[in-house]
Amino acid sequence: MSRRGGTRVRPTRKPIVVVAGEDRNDRLSLRILLEEFCPEMRGRIVEIGDPVRLHQATGANLAARAETLARKVRARAVRDDTTVACVFVHEDLDAVDDDQYPITRLRVEKALEAALGTAHYALAVAEIESWLLLFPDALTAVSGSWWVPARYRGRDTGRLTDPKQVLMKEVSGSSRRYREADAPEILGQVVAMGLAASPVGRNRSYEQLREDAARCCSEHISAKSR
Ligand SMILES: [Zn+2]
């Protein structure tokens, strides 16, 4: 224990990266990918459970929701006796990728930036399960009974209306059926197999997360941590 003048010296914590979202599995999934895309985030990501309802909000309503989230983020930094390097907010669009998706994503990201300074909005199309279908080999590595049918390989998985059902009914079977709690393990396998940068097929929301993590790493984390 280091003590100086009877007062315990607090460890200097690096600025935190906050991952906010409603679902614990989704937050953990995001964290696994962020730490892979930006190793400098390892050991500094904290999670905030928040019933994020941003993609359907506009105008003053959206600004108010972003500000509520920002207050929680600032309170967490105060509690941890540190500052905030950046924030990633996850939400499922629950609709397929279309022309409206980038417009919605940008509208919310601007509102988050206004409230937080720097922030990234990880709006998954249609939901985070669509990202898992980009990695057939990792799915089979997690369970030998899982197999992604050819018709889902090399696709734009953001166009699938119900990727969770595809995973439950067409990829997995009765011997081990996919559950939402499996998502972090599958993405952990993706990372372990070195596949995170080599998706089979595409998904704009996954590509967006990669770009955001890289930009955050070079512009936000490094700038606030040195
Ligand atoms: Zn950032």
User: At 106, which CATH number?
Assistant: 3.40.50.960
CA of residue 123 to ligand 1 center, whole Å: 15
Beta partners for residue 198, in sequence order? none
Residue 66 lies inside a defined structural domain of this protein: yes
For residues 113 and 144, membership in a common domain is answered with no
The backbone torsions φ and ψ at residue 172, rounded to the nearest 5 degrees and listed phi first, read -105, 170
Q: Based on the fold, state whether residues 182 and 114 are members of the same structural domain.
A: no
Domain match, 25 and 114 both: yes
Q: What is the pLDDT along the chain (226 residues), one digit of tens a residue?
A: 444 444 555 555 889 999 999 999 999 999 999 999 999 999 999 999 988 899 999 999 999 999 999 999 999 999 999 999 999 999 999 999 999 999 999 999 999 999 999 999 999 999 999 999 999 999 999 999 999 999 999 999 999 999 999 999 999 999 999 999 999 999 999 999 999 999 999 999 999 999 999 999 999 997 655 4
Tell me, yes or no, whether 4 lies in a domain.
no
Separation of CA 137 and ligand 1 centre (Å): 30
- 150 C-alpha to ligand 1 centroid (Å): 36
Same domain, 142 and 31: no
Distance in Å, CA 40 to ligand 1 centroid: 12
Q: Does a structural domain hold residue 7?
A: no
- Residue 60 domain flag: yes
138: CA distance to ligand 1 center in Å? 28
Q: What are phi and psi of 85, to 5 degrees?
A: -80, -45
Query: Buried b vs exposed e over 132-163: b needs ≥16 C-beta within 10 Å?
Result: bbbbbebbebbbeebebeeebeebebbbbeeb
- Same domain, yes or no, for 21 and 99? yes
* In-domain check, residue 143: yes
SS3 at position 8: strand
Residues 116, 55, single domain; the answer is: yes
Q: How far is the CA of 174 from the centre of ligand 1 (A)?
A: 41
Distance in Å, CA 36 to ligand 1 centroid: 15
Domain count, the chain: 2
Cα 14 to ligand 1 centroid, rounded to whole Å: 15
What range does the domain containing 56 cover?
14-125+203-225
- The answer to whether residue 56 is domain-embedded is yes
d(CA 49, ligand 1 centre) in Å: 19
98 and 210 assigned to the same domain: yes
Q: How far is the CA of 33 from the centre of ligand 1 (A)?
A: 14
Provide the pLDDT for residue 106.
Answer: 98
Cβ contacts of 222 within 8 Å, gap of 6 or more: 40
pLDDT at 222: 77
| 210 belongs to a structural domain | yes
Q: How many angstroms does the Cα of residue 35 sit away from the middle of ligand 1?
A: 13
Q: How far is ligand 1, taken at its centre, from the CA of residue 85, in Å?
A: 7
The per-residue pLDDT for 8 is 53
Amino acid (one-letter) located at 151: R
What separation in Å is there between the alpha carbon of 52 and the centre of ligand 1? 18
93/74 same-domain check: yes
Q: Does residue 157 share a domain with residue 90?
A: no
Same domain for 43 and 108, yes or no, is yes
Residues 78 and 46 in one domain: yes
Q: Is residue 83 part of a domain?
A: yes
pLDDT at 223: 62
Q: Do residues 120 and 51 share a domain?
A: yes
Cα-to-centroid distance, 129 and ligand 1 (Å): 24
